[in-house]
């Protein structure tokens, strides 16, 4: 039970930070422009909607070269009730890092909530921020 409470608190804090950043940190971003947070939020939106193509579209060309879209789609078929939050976004010039916490229920293990904590590295590619690497944190 304590694990579930800790996970809930982490998700709430991450969601609050995300909301604050979106409301206050991106007022200068115009439609069509990119930022690490916008890219990460697109990834999370895809995660939340089970839209693997939307997630894949946030990847850099080098990340796409080593990622099989069909395998990604197949891995999401067993999951449902997803939630994704972004936190700890750090930008340094044309590179950035962030933590993403994903949650889902897995029908293969009796619909138990399964947390996934990921560390993402981003880079600018053709003027757009793209996810260049994702590792389990």
Question: CA gyration radius for the chain?
Answer: 15
Is residue 110 domain-resident? Answer: yes
**CATH number, residue 119:** 3.10.450.50
Is residue 61 domain-resident? Answer: yes
For 10, list phi and psi in degrees, rounded to 5.
-60, -45
Asked whether the whole model's pTM tops 0.85, one would answer: no
Is residue 31 domain-resident? Answer: no
Is residue 29 domain-resident? Answer: no
Is residue 30 domain-resident? Answer: no
Is residue 75 domain-resident? Answer: yes
Domain that holds residue 53: 2-24+36-136
- Structurally, the chain folds into a number of domains equal to 1
Is residue 93 domain-resident? Answer: yes
Q: Per-residue pLDDT for the chain (137 aa), expressed as one digit of tens each?
A: 544 444 545 555 555 444 444 444 443 344 456 899 999 999 999 988 889 999 999 999 999 999 999 998 887 776 767 788 999 999 999 999 999 998 877 666 666 667 789 999 999 999 999 999 999 87
Is residue 58 domain-resident? Answer: yes
């Amino acid at each position: 039970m304590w694990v579930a409470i800790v996970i809930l608190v982490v998700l709430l804090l991450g969601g609050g930070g995300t909301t604050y950043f979106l409301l206050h940190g991106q007022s200068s971003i115009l439609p069509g422009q990119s930022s690490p947070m916008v890219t990460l939020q697109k990834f999370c939106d895809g995660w939340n909607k089970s839209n693997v193509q939307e997630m894949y579209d946030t990847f850099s060309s080098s990340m796409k070269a080593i990622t099989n879209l069909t395998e990604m789609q197949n891995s999401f078929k067993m999951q449902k009730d997803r939630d994704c939050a972004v936190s700890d976004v750090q930008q340094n010039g044309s590179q950035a890092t962030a933590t993403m916490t994903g949650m889902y229920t897995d029908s293969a293990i009796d619909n138990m909530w399964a947390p996934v904590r990921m560390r993402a590295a981003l880079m600018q590619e053709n003027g757009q921020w793209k996810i260049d690497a994702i590792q389990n944190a």
